[in-house]
Chains A and B, each alone.
Chain A
Amino acid sequence: MQKLYIFLLVFCQMCFLKIADVGADFSLEEEVTAMKSQMSVMQGKIDVLERKVYSQEDKIIEQQTQKHAYERRIQELESQSTQQPQAPVAPSMPSRVPGTKWIPDIGAVADVVLTVDHAKTDDEGGNRISLRELELVLGSNVDPYSRLDATVSFSDSEEPSLEEAYLTRFGLPLETTARIGKFLPKVGKVLGVHRDSLDTVDEPLVITKFFGAEGMSKSGFDLTKMVNIPWPITHQLTFGVLEGGNGEDGTAFGTARKRPTLYAHLKNYFDMSDRTGLEVGFSPMFGSKDEGANLDVRVLGVDATLVHHLSANQDLKFQAEAFNLDRKKTIDDEGNSLGGNFWGTYGLVDFRFHPQWATGFRYDYVEPVDNPADNPKSMDMGYTGYLAFHQSEFARWRLQYTHTDLSTGKGDDTVYLQGTFAIGEHKHKLQ
């Protein structure tokens, strides 16, 4: 204690001497200016230090961000290295996981249908269960501007067939996207989608009778772009040139592939509210019968879809399409009149009343093209009801009953039980 006291005393004395020393040489005023300048120098130093602290803080955050990114990369690599001995085959992760980037997205959709058919016709009908279709879907980016998609269809009753194979080229001038290859034309609401996106087991009658049993997938090219007409209505325009012909058993155009079909689709969409959207589309098509290439077969399609979200888990959808087919009238050797003006339409209501359950009804009407003169009626009509159960996002069951009244005077009652299952990459193209 005494030592400390002595130390303090000596220290104070020294300080005093020093100040007295300074006082002897400079006046008080000069002293203040000197201190002021010292302070400003120190202020500058503080500023510099402050800036350093800020930049260090930024660096720390940046490094933390980097650290997390590295941690993730390590996790990914670790999971890969643990995967490799167990899974020498292609990993099940999509192509965006590092290390698998050259493997395209692969998916498969199986469509199994049990049909109980009380046909009042002679040669058709009967009960059967069949793997109606197994679609193998492949797709990946080709380069930063384009993507290749292909769909191959297998079934237990038909030869494998190439349903689609086309290149999509993004980012063309005027913000246009192009497709080239074999694809489903963007006409209306049903022709442009795969079967597994339909609300019913089968396509509407107007689609099967006019265009083909599974719609029509054709080689050609098309261009799509948003049209800039101001808000609030959204317009999208597609224009395409396709090879001639129809889908399987379709009757709209001739069968010659060298007679091209031109088509366009103008989609108009309006958000009526947060929960309700209305879409109206127009689809003109110009094609030819085999005898001439003068684009004398004209189809005009109109479609309307209203979707209303009642709640997060309940949706109501109304969808209708109508097609008018106009073709020059001719009389064949047996005196039957071929061609003319025909109408076909369908209307569908779909109600998803539960996250997993949906039900709906479809009405069909179509005037058959090339109808023999002795047929008692000039139209086919159909009534369809269904109930769908979504077991999960990738497995769906559907029970459907369809009654048809055909132009031949015959009727048909069919019950379907359908299971649709998807594996691998399964993303629906946006409609």
Chain B
Amino acid sequence: MKSIMIKRLPYLFFLGVLFLFSMSPERVMAAEKPLEIVATQALFADLVKQVGQDKVDVRAIASPKFNIHFIQPRPSDVRDVTQADLYVNAGLDLEAWSDPLLEAVGRPQLFRRGERNLDLSSGIRLLKVPDHPVTRAEGDIHLFGNPHFQMNPENARIMVRVISEKLKEIDPVNASYYEENAKVFLGRLDRKIAEWKSLCAHCVGKEIISYHDDIVYFADFLGLKADQELEPKPGIPPTPKHFQFLEDYVKEHQVKAIVLPTYFSRSTAEKLAKRIGAKVATICQNVGEAPGTDDFFSFFDYNFKQISEALQ
């Protein structure tokens, strides 16, 4: 009896596999069911939520507590993207892990430039686009221009517009709903931008050093100068030699603050700050990274308060 069972094992195995294969993920578009949207990072997820409100279920892959460049997507992320109606990302090379993730998902409409892949860099005026052939001698990342464009709140105007257009396209029944939510958001954004500009009016023309080259759009918005980073090149960890360079640099430049998100080494920043007599300020890169940064507006409230105080 036992030997018959063992002989038949490969066939039983075959049947089991067939059975499991037949259990397909259901992705039915019921009219009242909210759209399933997966964003790469929390700020994008929040913008989608602002436009989609009750008509969307949105989640972010990357935890705001981690460096967005080096996330390792989990099998649960693969599952969520497999079932998603829309994948929202920064494009460029912000999420270097995005292509392998989408390949593991294997749905062509979610691939780069696919109709269900929303690339939020479209329409954004990019900064630091390389004007020469680049090699990795210049660092690991930012091959297509600086991808940290969500740090300028002005860019949310374009992103929200693009999001609302996409939602209208895939869910035309609720087109006016998305349009209305986007209008409300943009109205609020106008008021907040005026508020932030006046809060940080004293920052114009001042210089800061950031840990990673992720602050240029933020600096651009405020009229700050941010030419130097603790990293000698994007993605290359700080070295003693580069520290020395920065110390010499600040002798000829008035640097008032060193800024970094929560996931880089604050002690490294403090070491330099002490030597050059600057303050260290946390500037979050994502919604939810620090307490009280739960949505787009509170996130920027937090960041502008931080920079305003540091440059007081």
Please determine whether A264 and B13 come into contact, CB atoms closer than 8 angstroms: yes
Please determine whether A227 and B23 come into contact, CB atoms closer than 8 angstroms: yes
Given A228-B23, A312-B263, CB of A279 within 8 Å of CB of B106: no
Q: Which B residue's beta carbon lies closest to that of A224?
A: B106
Complex Cα gap A430–B20 (Å)? 22
Q: Does A31 contact B (CB under 8 A)?
A: no
Complex Cα gap A430–B99 (Å)? 9
Please determine whether B103 and A284 come into contact, CB atoms closer than 8 angstroms: no
Please determine whether A175 and B65 come into contact, CB atoms closer than 8 angstroms: no
Please determine whether A79 and B132 come into contact, CB atoms closer than 8 angstroms: yes
Please determine whether A269 and B74 come into contact, CB atoms closer than 8 angstroms: yes
Write the B137-166 contact mask toward A (1 if CB under 8 angstroms, else 0): 000100111000000000001100110000
Q: Does A3 contact B (CB under 8 A)?
A: no
Name the B residues within 8 Å of A86 (CB-CB): 132-133
Please determine whether B157 and A234 come into contact, CB atoms closer than 8 angstroms: no
Please determine whether A271 and B21 come into contact, CB atoms closer than 8 angstroms: no
Chain A proximity of B33: nearest CB distance (Å) = 16
Write the B243-268 contact mask toward A (1 if CB under 8 angstroms, else 0): 00000000000000000001101000
Please determine whether A271 and B74 come into contact, CB atoms closer than 8 angstroms: yes
Q: Which A residue's beta carbon lies closest to that of B263?
A: A312
Chain B proximity of A202: nearest CB distance (Å) = 23
Q: Does B310 contact A (CB under 8 A)?
A: no
Name the A residues within 8 Å of B109 (CB-CB): 171
Given A171-B107, A271-B74, A429-B103, CB of A68 within 8 Å of CB of B123: yes
Q: Does B34 contact A (CB under 8 A)?
A: no
Q: Which A residue's beta carbon lies closest to that of B70?
A: A393
Size of interface on B: residues with Cβ below 8 Å to A: 64
Name the A residues within 8 Å of B25 (CB-CB): 175, 226, 228
Please determine whether A234 and B78 come into contact, CB atoms closer than 8 angstroms: yes
Given A69-B122, A170-B108, CB of A82 within 8 Å of CB of B134: no
Name the B residues within 8 Å of A82 (CB-CB): 131-132
Name the A residues within 8 Å of B136 (CB-CB): 394, 423
Which of A5-13, A70-78, A248-256 forms part of the interface with chain B? A70-78
Write the B48-66 contact mask toward A (1 if CB under 8 angstroms, else 0): 0000000000000001011
Q: Does A399 contact B (CB under 8 A)?
A: no
Complex Cα gap A234–B41 (Å)? 21
Interface residues on A, range: 35 or more
Chain A proximity of B131: nearest CB distance (Å) = 5
Name the A residues within 8 Å of B157 (CB-CB): 61
Q: Does A335 contact B (CB under 8 A)?
A: no
Q: Identify which of residues 80-137 in chain B touch chain A, using a CB-to-CB cut-off of 8 Å.
A: 82, 96, 99-101, 103-104, 106-109, 111-112, 122-126, 129-136
Please determine whether B131 and A79 come into contact, CB atoms closer than 8 angstroms: yes
Given A75-B129, A145-B108, A356-B237, CB of A279 within 8 Å of CB of B75: yes
Q: Which A residue's beta carbon lies closest to that of B112?
A: A96
Write the A255-277 contact mask toward B (1 if CB under 8 angstroms, else 0): 00000001010110101001001
Name the A residues within 8 Å of B237 (CB-CB): 355-356, 392
Q: Which A residue's beta carbon lies closest to that of B100?
A: A430
**Contact for B21 among A65, A87, A145, A239, CB less than 8 A:** A239
Q: Does B277 contact A (CB under 8 A)?
A: no
Complex Cα gap A40–B237 (Å)? 69
Q: Does B188 contact A (CB under 8 A)?
A: no
Please determine whether A309 and B66 come into contact, CB atoms closer than 8 angstroms: yes
Complex Cα gap A284–B15 (Å)? 13
**Contact for B26 among A96, A228, A236, CB less than 8 A:** A228
**Contact for B140 among A93, A294, A392, CB less than 8 A:** A392
Name the A residues within 8 Å of B144 (CB-CB): 97
**Contact for B103 among A147, A279, A394, CB less than 8 A:** A147
Complex Cα gap A177–B135 (Å)? 34
Please determine whether B66 and A312 come into contact, CB atoms closer than 8 angstroms: yes
Please determine whether B13 and A286 come into contact, CB atoms closer than 8 angstroms: yes
Q: Does A128 contact B (CB under 8 A)?
A: no
Q: Identify which of residues 300-353 in chain A touch chain B, using a CB-to-CB cut-off of 8 Å.
A: 309, 312-313
Name the B residues within 8 Å of A72 (CB-CB): 125-126, 129, 145
Write the B17-28 contact mask toward A (1 if CB under 8 angstroms, else 0): 100111111100
Name the B residues within 8 Å of A393 (CB-CB): 70, 140, 235
Q: Which B residue's beta carbon lies closest to that of A430?
A: B104
Q: Which of B14, B74, B132, B134 has the most chain A CB atoms closer than 10 A to its own CB?
A: B74
Complex Cα gap A394–B106 (Å)? 26
**Contact for A427 among B24, B100, B111, B162, CB less than 8 A:** B100
Given A228-B25, A309-B66, CB of A429 within 8 Å of CB of B104: yes
**Contact for A234 among B17, B22, B76, B126, CB less than 8 A:** B76
Write the A364-408 contact mask toward B (1 if CB under 8 angstroms, else 0): 000000000000000000000000000011100000000000000
Please determine whether B133 and A239 come into contact, CB atoms closer than 8 angstroms: no
Q: Which A residue's beta carbon lies closest to that of B131?
A: A79
Q: Identify which of residues 206-235 in chain A touch chain B, using a CB-to-CB cut-off of 8 Å.
A: 223-229, 232, 234-235
**Contact for B129 among A79, A232, A235, CB less than 8 A:** A79
Name the A residues within 8 Å of B29 (CB-CB): none
Chain A proximity of B78: nearest CB distance (Å) = 7
Given A175-B25, A229-B23, A312-B67, CB of A430 within 8 Å of CB of B125: no
**Contact for B10 among A71, A279, A286, CB less than 8 A:** A286
Name the B residues within 8 Å of A108 (CB-CB): none
Please determine whether A223 and B21 come into contact, CB atoms closer than 8 angstroms: yes
Please determine whether A92 and B124 come into contact, CB atoms closer than 8 angstroms: no
Please determine whether A68 and B99 come into contact, CB atoms closer than 8 angstroms: no
Chain B proximity of A54: nearest CB distance (Å) = 9
Chain B proximity of A6: nearest CB distance (Å) = 49
Complex Cα gap A147–B66 (Å)? 31
Name the A residues within 8 Å of B130 (CB-CB): 79
14 contacts between A and B (CB under 8 A): A65-B123, A68-B123, A72-B126, A170-B108, A226-B82, A228-B24, A237-B20, A264-B17, A298-B9, A392-B140, A393-B70, A393-B140, A427-B100, A429-B103
Listed from nearest, the 10 A-B pairs whose CB atoms lie closest are A312-B263, A269-B75, A65-B123, A177-B106, A430-B104, A170-B106, A228-B25, A234-B79, A174-B24, A295-B10
**What 15 additional pairs, Cβ within 8 angstroms, besides A65-B161, A174-B21, A236-B75?**
A69-B123, A75-B129, A79-B130, A168-B106, A171-B108, A228-B24, A264-B17, A267-B75, A284-B13, A286-B10, A295-B10, A313-B265, A392-B235, A392-B237, A427-B100
